[in-house]
Chains A and B, each alone.
Chain A
Amino acid sequence: MSLATARRELAAVFRKEVRQTLRDRRIMFLLIVAPLVQTVIFGSAVDFDVDKVPTVVVDVDRSDVSRLHARRLLADGTLRRVGERASVAEAEGDLDAGRAAAVVVLPRGLAGDLSAGRPAQVQVLVDGTDPNRAGVAGGAASRYLGEEGERLMRERLEAAGRGAPAQAVLTPRVAYNPRLKTAPYLVPGIAAMLLVIVTTLVTAMGLSREREMGTMEQLLVTPIKPIWLLVGKLLPFLVIGFFDVLLLVTVGTWVFEVPLRGNLLVLAVGVLLYVFSTLGVGLFISTVSQNQQQAFLGGFLFMMPATLLSGVMTPIRAMPDWLQLVTYLNPVRHFAEVMRGVLLRGAGVGDLWFQLAALAVLGLGILGLAASRFRTQLG
């Protein structure tokens, strides 16, 4: 077969697919508007920096000193005062009902103990249901009280004329994202996740639908070669994938102040290789599913682990070692690293060669495997 016929066949299938997709406004809406809405909601809803933990204060001491410490403990905003109770038992009721997640108890005699030089303790009761939030709330309380304790100790030593001991202090300097906002970090990762939904799920279901309705067989009796049929079918999604990334990066920079530090060409190479693998997975799922329900569930069964083990939501370094090894097989992981590297750190090919190579291997491997299955199934 000459190259010209191949090109003509490919162009014909491509035109048909584009027309079919464009005709269904609802699908277009879902491929373009839905990712946008999701990015905006995700980007504004998710804040890894836990603060405003609802806190009830039980001030049994009722002295100036206890009021001062309660106020300063809550001053940095990590803990937010939602009420005051006269007794610990009442405050525990708030924890039970979920009205509060932390209770600060300033015990009777706090002021007296402090002025008399006796060791005093402030009790902090946290709701451990959410370990992360409990850690943050407990950490904030012990940091403040620890600093305060140390300060008092130094004062006393100095007052006793023994001279203050040396002290090393930390002066942090945060690069790339000085205010440690979640959105600039999360939005590039979300883009990686949404591409899976848009490409893998849609391909898997679309091809299963053709199988259900029997239209695939109709296309096969035309003189078009299966391989060009396949390429023509997948090509529009590649275009949509590129378009979505462009859209999400634009929204990210506008709404969420995602910086654009690196070379967009590197990003484009990443998108291309990544979409190869997500389309490949979709194609593969369609070859093992009998209907759309199965294709959806299969796509979902891929999507959940792939996104959870991508490092988008939780750091990969926090996973057990054997699971960290498994994540090397996950295209979402590599693409999320490329997105973040290029956008946030200004990384180039030199820094990201490993991720790009991994994406290329995975993309071509998965797509090749799926395409050969697709061909034998039709042949």
Chain B
Amino acid sequence: MRHGPLVRSLVRIGAMASKETIHIRRDPRTLALALAMPLVMLFLFGYGISTDLDHLPIAFADQDQSEASRALARAFDGSGEFRVVTRRAPGEVEPLFRDGSVVAALVVPRGYQDDLVGGRRTPVQLMVDGADAVVANQVLTKADAVLRAESRRLAGAAFARLEPPLSAALWTRYNPAARSALFMVPGISAFLLAITAVMLTALAIAGEWERGSMEQLFASPVGRLEIVLGKLLPYLVLGLLELQLVLAFGAMAFDLPVLGPGWLILLLGLVFLVGMLGQGLLISVVTKNQMVATQAAALSAMLPSIILSGMIFPIENMPLPLQLLSRLIPARYLVHGLRGVLLKGNGFDVLWPDVLAMALFAVAIVALATRRFQRRLA
């Protein structure tokens, strides 16, 4: 029975894919590591990574030694945000900053109580260790809130009973409990897919060059494009599996909602993965060396997908050149798309630009990679 050229080509691609699958299965440790990684990461991000601080250690410098200043120390201590760990003179604070035992020092000036009794505006000084900008920012905001509350309390019952003439009514949509895990899971998925796809393909194909088995493949009747497709196919499946695993784990452990359609998640993942596999292929063709390929992949896929994707740091806070650069990073669109589907329940009508952007990237990079791949041999 004779088959058309397309069918024969598909058979050859299938053969390549099953050869690569055997490679992967022969090396169960690699497979286990590739699948264990997402769980470790999710666990860390979900439980360990948080930026919200409380019980921050502060020093208390009381120059007033009055009832009012002691009440202020109690207010800071009782707020749950701070913990007065030591009492010092203001001049003795700096060594405590240097060895990191306190993050701030509260200095109550002489005459604090008299000012309060006299109804005057009285300053309280806060010395903050600014070396850690994240902590310092929170210290400032929280200390301000504690002092404001204390000030209101001191102003007396009449004042406290009054309803403020102007106030804010805050509504939070999509993630009202402000859980970082919900924010992180879509980002982590993008990051893990980028790593698995780019790194593993780059390493697998660079390995063939290193061992010289690539030339043997070329001597076979399998076409160049067929080799590429066959080699990438198993990693595509592996990547999609990983995506499902991460989302399933996220849904189980962190109650990650899936508000949008499931097929859209698969579509986003698929388009993204094709682009990443193409990038891995390009790297391996250019480097032909596993160690160099790793570093190149780390530089071109791993870091951008952490830093420039908006996974952790908002893109609109970056300088303009990097904002523009982030438009070339497919992870940016995947993170945005996944958050939209999972947390906001967006459909294709809202997210089509993300799919389109990733598809453009995928087509461009796969075309570039196969062209270089073919030229190498001529």
B150 close to chain A: CB less than 8 A: yes
Residues on the A chain within 8 Å of B148, using CB: 146, 150
B220 close to chain A: CB less than 8 A: no
Contact B166 A120 (CB under 8 A): yes
User: What is the minimal beta-carbon distance from B42 to any residue of chain A, in angstroms?
Assistant: 11
B2 close to chain A: CB less than 8 A: no
Greatest chain A CB density within 10 A among B131, B289, B312 is at B131
User: What is the minimal beta-carbon distance from A9 to any residue of chain B, in angstroms?
Assistant: 25
Contact B166 A152 (CB under 8 A): yes
Contact B169 A308 (CB under 8 A): no
Q: Nearest B residue to A317 by beta-carbon distance?
A: B53
Contact A146 B290 (CB under 8 A): no
Can you list, as one digit per residue, whether each of B110-141 has a CB less than 8 Å from chain A (1) or not (0)?
A: 00100111111111111111111111110011
A6 close to chain B: CB less than 8 A: no
Interface 9-mer from B4-12, B31-39, B270-278, B369-377: B31-39
Supposing A126-B171, A165-B159, A177-B136 touch, asked if A337 and B290 sit within 8 A by C-beta, the answer is no
Supposing A46-B313, A168-B147 touch, asked if A139 and B141 sit within 8 A by C-beta, the answer is yes
Contact B135 A205 (CB under 8 A): no
A301 close to chain B: CB less than 8 A: yes
Supposing A41-B303, A294-B33 touch, asked if A185 and B131 sit within 8 A by C-beta, the answer is yes
Q: How many residues of A contact B (CB 8 A)?
A: 120
- Give the docked Cα–Cα distance between A181 and B153 (Å): 34
- Give the docked Cα–Cα distance between A352 and B132 (Å): 16
Residues on the B chain within 8 Å of A318, using CB: 50-53
B94 close to chain A: CB less than 8 A: yes
Interface 9-mer from A90-98, A231-239, A267-275, A363-371: A90-98
- Give the docked Cα–Cα distance between A14 and B313 (Å): 42
Contact B164 A153 (CB under 8 A): yes
Residues on the B chain within 8 Å of A53, using CB: 314, 316
Greatest chain B CB density within 10 A among A92, A117, A139, A170 is at A170
Residues on the B chain within 8 Å of A323, using CB: 47-48
Residues on the A chain within 8 Å of B48, using CB: 308-309, 319-320, 323
Residues on the B chain within 8 Å of A30, using CB: 292, 295-296, 299
Chain B's interface size range is 35 or more
Select one of A48, A149, A166 contacting B116, CB under 8 A.
A166
Residues on the B chain within 8 Å of A309, using CB: 44, 48
User: What is the minimal beta-carbon distance from A147 to any residue of chain B, in angstroms?
Assistant: 9
Contact B318 A315 (CB under 8 A): no
Q: Nearest A residue to B132 by beta-carbon distance?
A: A185
Contact B294 A26 (CB under 8 A): no
Supposing A123-B169, A138-B172 touch, asked if A52 and B56 sit within 8 A by C-beta, the answer is no
Contact B336 A98 (CB under 8 A): yes
B168 close to chain A: CB less than 8 A: yes
A173 close to chain B: CB less than 8 A: yes
Supposing A96-B350, A124-B168, A133-B314 touch, asked if A177 and B133 sit within 8 A by C-beta, the answer is yes
B344 close to chain A: CB less than 8 A: yes
Q: Nearest A residue to B55 by beta-carbon distance?
A: A317
Interface 9-mer from B95-103, B226-234, B359-367: B95-103
- Give the docked Cα–Cα distance between A156 and B164 (Å): 11
| CB interface residues, A 311-348, toward B, < 8 Å | 313-315, 317-320, 323, 337, 340-341, 344-347
Residues on the A chain within 8 Å of B182, using CB: 129
Interface 9-mer from A241-249, A276-284, A285-293: A285-293
Select one of B44, B154, B179, B290 contacting A131, CB under 8 A.
B179
B144 close to chain A: CB less than 8 A: yes
- Give the docked Cα–Cα distance between A30 and B290 (Å): 13
A220 close to chain B: CB less than 8 A: no
Residues on the A chain within 8 Å of B176, using CB: 128
Contact A293 B53 (CB under 8 A): no
| CB interface residues, A 4-32, toward B, < 8 Å | 24, 26-27, 30
Contact A313 B346 (CB under 8 A): no
Interface contact tally, CB-CB below 8 A: 362
Select one of A95, A122, A165 contacting B173, CB under 8 A.
A95
A112 close to chain B: CB less than 8 A: no
| CB interface residues, B 200-235, toward A, < 8 Å | 200, 203-204, 207
Supposing A119-B163, A308-B44 touch, asked if A45 and B344 sit within 8 A by C-beta, the answer is no
Supposing A34-B299, A96-B350, A180-B130 touch, asked if A45 and B166 sit within 8 A by C-beta, the answer is no
Greatest chain A CB density within 10 A among B34, B124, B134, B154 is at B134
User: What is the minimal beta-carbon distance from B286 to any residue of chain A, in angstroms?
Assistant: 10
A227 close to chain B: CB less than 8 A: no
A172 close to chain B: CB less than 8 A: yes
Residues on the B chain within 8 Å of A156, using CB: 165
Contact A167 B121 (CB under 8 A): yes
Residues on the B chain within 8 Å of A51, using CB: 317
- Give the docked Cα–Cα distance between A229 and B237 (Å): 42
B72 close to chain A: CB less than 8 A: yes
- Give the docked Cα–Cα distance between A83 and B95 (Å): 49
Contact A315 B172 (CB under 8 A): no
Greatest chain B CB density within 10 A among A132, A145, A164 is at A132
A134 close to chain B: CB less than 8 A: yes
Residues on the B chain within 8 Å of A297, using CB: 30, 33-34, 37
Select one of B30, B50, B118, B318 contacting A44, CB under 8 A.
B318
Contact A168 B154 (CB under 8 A): yes
Q: Nearest B residue to A319 by beta-carbon distance?
A: B48
Select one of A98, A174, A289 contacting B340, CB under 8 A.
A98
Select one of B115, B164, B316 contacting A149, CB under 8 A.
B164
User: What is the minimal beta-carbon distance from A138 to any residue of chain B, in angstroms?
Assistant: 5
Contact A344 B131 (CB under 8 A): yes
Greatest chain A CB density within 10 A among B98, B140, B289, B322 is at B98
B245 close to chain A: CB less than 8 A: no
User: What is the minimal beta-carbon distance from B196 to any residue of chain A, in angstroms?
Assistant: 10
24 of the cross-chain contacts (CB-CB < 8 Å) are: A47-B318, A49-B317, A52-B317, A114-B165, A121-B167, A126-B171, A126-B172, A128-B173, A138-B168, A149-B167, A165-B119, A166-B119, A170-B124, A171-B126, A173-B125, A176-B129, A177-B133, A293-B203, A297-B34, A309-B44, A313-B312, A314-B50, A315-B135, A318-B51
Q: A49-B133, A129-B174, A314-B49 are in contact. List 10 more A-B contacts (CB 8 A).
A: A42-B307, A53-B316, A145-B167, A145-B168, A173-B128, A174-B127, A175-B97, A185-B133, A315-B134, A352-B99
Closest 7 CB pairs of A and B: A165-B155, A149-B164, A128-B175, A177-B130, A131-B178, A297-B33, A30-B295
Residues of A within 8 A of B (CB): 24, 26-27, 30, 34, 37-38, 41-42, 44-54, 69, 80, 92, 95-98, 114, 117, 119-135, 138-139, 141-143, 145-146, 148-150, 152-153, 156-157, 162-178, 180-182, 184-185, 197, 201-202, 205-206, 209, 289-294, 296-298, 300-301, 304-305, 308-309, 313-315, 317-320, 323, 337, 340-341, 344-347, 351-352
